[in-house]
Amino acid sequence: MHIRRGDKGPKSRTVSTNDFLHAAACESDRIFARKKLPIVFVMTDSPEAARQTRAWAAKRPHMRLVMQTPKATWHVHGQALAIAGRSFSHEVRHNETEGLLVDLVFLARSTIIISLCTSQLARLANSIGHIAGRLETAVAMDSKEIPARDPWKYGTDEGWQQPNADPAYCGGQTT
């Protein structure tokens, strides 16, 4: 799951962390129903989303949460985030880049991706996972944007779909 702060642009709608967690609950419950232990990998640029996700995962003993460590950029907000790296030391920039690449590898190895389809990082991970044959489902939390993207940008139709709103699909569960 890739939870963004919603800083994709002035027209983008911020998707709440609870919406992401509800989608993750639905998908992890489906995996658990197949007698598999769901491992939920979360990458986020939001310290609040990380806090909420840890609290959510603590209530779900049938799954394992894997999450990145706090980032050097978590204290930066809005447009300043785009240029924040310039003020960091070479070592911090290097470590942040390594962390991003590790996150990309984990996301690309996922069987289910829950993200914004407007996130280039999520689109790249989606395409890698799809081409490798690992990706089963790609849930776009900004599903109204699905028709606006170039579906073949990364060499394969990414297959984004909207979150399933049917309570029966989620076993009646909420976050």
**Token pair in block for residue 54:** 């840890």
The segments of the chain whose pLDDT lies below 50 read 8, 172-175
pLDDT of residue 71: 64
Q: Which residues, including other chains, have CB under 8 Å from residue 130's CB and lie 6 or more apart?
A: 138, 156, 158, 159
So what's the pLDDT on residue 174? 47
Q: What is the pLDDT of residue 13?
A: 61
pLDDT at 55: 92
Q: What is the pLDDT of residue 33?
A: 78
Stated pTM of the model: 0.77
Cα 118-120-123 angle, rounded to 5 deg: 85
* pLDDT value of position 175: 44
